[in-house]
Amino acid sequence: MPGIYFHIPFCKQACHYCNFHFSTSLKYKSQVVEAMLKELHWRAGYLPQEPLQSLYFGGGTPSLLEAEELAAFFDAVARHFELAPDAEITLEANPDDLTPEKLQALRASPVNRLSIGIQSFYEEDLTFFNRAHNAAEARQCVERARAAGFRDLTVDLIYGAPTMPDAHWAANLKAVLEAEVPHFSAYALTVEPQTALDYFVRKGKVPPVEEAAAARHFEMLVEMTSAAGYEQYEVSNFALPGRYALHNSSYWKGEPYLGIGPSAHSFNGHSRQWNVANNAKYLKAMATSDLGQAIGLGLFEKEGLSTADQYNEYVMTGLRTIWGVSLHTIRSRFGVEYAAHFEREVARFEAAGQVVSAHGKYWLPGTHRFMADGIAADLFW
């Protein structure tokens, strides 16, 4: 079933590690929201005529949206789409935004799932990341969300930071596990090009990220979550049984989705497209009278996916998940040559114990998922 992603490209301040598109100036927020509603109207036919399984408000910081702006999105969705009765509707939020008043406003909306960017419960980590919230807000936000009536929650954590000793990473995990948050994502800190962190590392102002520390933290992550009854259903995503994220799972399973807003991506199985990652250029394109003119002004770029591209994406996403890669799927979707290629190339990883298989299904066990992307790349066509 399809889903829609709304990219809200605004933040209070810039996290040092972030390479997503956003602006710290809220000057044009209302104009961007209006343009996004217009884009949704223009592109409603992109998805198959099926009920939507999920809506996801990401960013940026969607919790900066006012109640009326959020309501406008839901009104626009209702005009063009049918929502499945059990649709997952997620909004990303920063802990400092989740005041009792904000939570009540969100609870009164159709939002039924919050994704909270905690990252760490330690002040030194939050300062290093340049997060807008503090450690006290990190500790309080889950309890506040539950008190407001939210039961479907996910939080984000970051590991491998130079400021994060093993004991603090273990304490971060313990706090989330003991709170029985039904779902959480944990990401290794990476130094992305053209971010503040990249600049600080190159100038020697902060120590570089150590891969050994990240690998060690990943081992702790796998061990502690398994002992607590969480399932690692994707490399970076952990859930209690039956609490997998529907929206993110659709990405990994290759289901179609529509992305609305600056820098948002869309996928229909045969092609991928991405909107311009610039608020001013997005607004200029959307100020035209129809979609064709907007495309002419650079609203988005598009690429067709060859059979090889589709095979490579299937292997990449499959090896990151609990569902693995199916030889039958490769053979039926891409052809016998691709299936033979996969069997031949995967054999050495099986021999090394990095990949296991049963009944034609291949997956990465335990801590070997830390190397999922590298192994997948060696299996590409």
The yes-or-no verdict on residue 368 having pLDDT over 90 is no
Q: Are 42 and 290 in contact (CB under 8 A)?
A: yes
The whole-number pLDDT of residue 212 equals 95
**What digits encode the pLDDT tens for the residues 230-256?**
999 999 999 999 999 999 999 999 999
Q: Are 167 and 216 in contact (CB under 8 A)?
A: no
52 bridge partner residues? 83
Rg (alpha carbons) of the chain, rounded to whole number:
21
Q: How confident is the model at residue 180 (pLDDT cuts 50, 70, 90)?
A: very high
The whole-number pLDDT of residue 369 equals 86
Q: Are 18 and 195 in contact (CB under 8 A)?
A: yes
Q: How confident is the model at residue 205 (pLDDT cuts 50, 70, 90)?
A: very high
Average pLDDT over residues 20-33: 95
The yes-or-no verdict on residue 1 having pLDDT over 90 is no
The yes-or-no verdict on residue 126 having pLDDT over 90 is yes
The whole-number pLDDT of residue 366 equals 82
The whole-number pLDDT of residue 122 equals 98
- SS (HEC) of 101-147: HHHHHHHCCCCCEEEEEEECCCHHHHHHHCCCCCHHHHHHHHHHHHH
**What digits encode the pLDDT tens for the residues 313-363?**
999 999 999 999 999 999 999 999 999 999 999 999 999 999 999 999 999
The whole-number pLDDT of residue 250 equals 95
Buried b (16+ CB within 10 A) or exposed e, 43-60: beebbeeeebbbbbbbbb
The yes-or-no verdict on residue 76 having pLDDT over 90 is yes
pTM for the full model? Answer: 0.95
Buried b (16+ CB within 10 A) or exposed e, 249-272: bbbbeebbbbbbbbbbebbbeeeb
**What digits encode the pLDDT tens for the residues 272-291?**
999 999 999 999 999 999 99
Nearest to 254 by CA among 329, 169, 185, 156: 329
Q: Are 267 and 46 in contact (CB under 8 A)?
A: no
Instruction: Sketch out the chain's domains with CATH numbers.
Output: 3-251 (3.30.750.200), 307-378 (1.10.10)
Q: What is the mean pLDDT of the chain?
A: 96
Q: Considering only the C-alpha atoms of the chain, give the largest distance between any 2 of them, rounded to a whole number of Å.
A: 59
The yes-or-no verdict on residue 367 having pLDDT over 90 is no
